[in-house]
Amino acid sequence: MSYIPVTYPAAKSEFYPFLLDQLKLYLGEEKNRTAALANFSSVLAQAFPEANWAGFYLVDGDTLVVGPFQGRPAVSRIDYGKGVCGTAWKTGEAQVVKEVACFVGHIACDCNTHAEIVIPLRHPDGAIWGVLDMDSVTPGYFTDEDRAGLEQAVALLEDLV
Ligand code: SME
């Protein structure tokens, strides 16, 4: 399948339904985890020009290990409860960080990053198998509307193998 460039609606109320359609289009029937997460992170990078990192950390024992992503090289392992990602894993709650300098324990990967959002990924039984992580150079970039929209988006991934 070839990628067709699209213009995302500016209004969040229209942006997220559009994003969900794009994700469904490029995920297709793919159930391989690496393939699906790679295309998912690519779609996010196209959809969020102000995001400087978009991708996944995946549970491996008692750490998160970096998975498919778009952006600069990043830390490869994050312990349970550490950083924004490990906090999302431990609490089971999405983290919306307006300014990473104010998040105690934030793990810096790119010194240009100001805002971050992390969404837990769950199996149908509720077990967390990873997190979606997005960063932005714009302070306050991510909002609760993004949290709600991205929680819907990652629900598309719940039956990956
Ligand atoms: N900032 C994250 C680390 C991963 S990078 O943002 C890609 C954290 O504190 O968990």
- In the structure, what pLDDT confidence band is assigned to residue 161 with cuts at 50, 70 and 90? low
Sorted by where each begins, the domain ranges of the chain are 12-160
What pLDDT, on the 0 to 100 scale, is given for residue 86?
98
**Distance from the alpha carbon of residue 153 to the mean position of ligand 1, in angstroms:** 20
Whole-angstrom distance, CA of residue 91 vs CA of residue 93: 5
| Orientation angle between helical segments 144-154 and 12-27, nearest 10 degrees | 20
Summarize pLDDT for 107-141 with one digit per residue, the tens: 999 999 999 999 999 999 999 999 999 999 999 99
Residue whose CB lies within 8 A of the most ligand 1 atoms, among 44, 56, 59, 78, for a mutation test? 78
pLDDT tens for 39-88 read 999 999 999 999 999 999 999 999 999 999 999 999 999 999 999 999 99
Residue 50 carries which side chain, given as an amino acid letter?
E
> Angle at Cα 158 formed by Cα 55 and Cα 129, nearest 5°?
60
- Output the six-digit token pair for 14: 């229209």
Tokens of 1: 């399948």
CA atoms within 13 A on the CB side of 60: 10
On whether the CB atoms of residues 81 and 105 are closer than 8 A, the answer is: no
Write the DSSP symbol of residue 11. S
Q: Residue 48 corresponds to which tokens in the numbers above? A: 């969020």
> Is the CB of 135 within 6 Å of ligand 1?
yes
Decide yes or no: CATH 3.40.50.2300 for domain 12-160: no
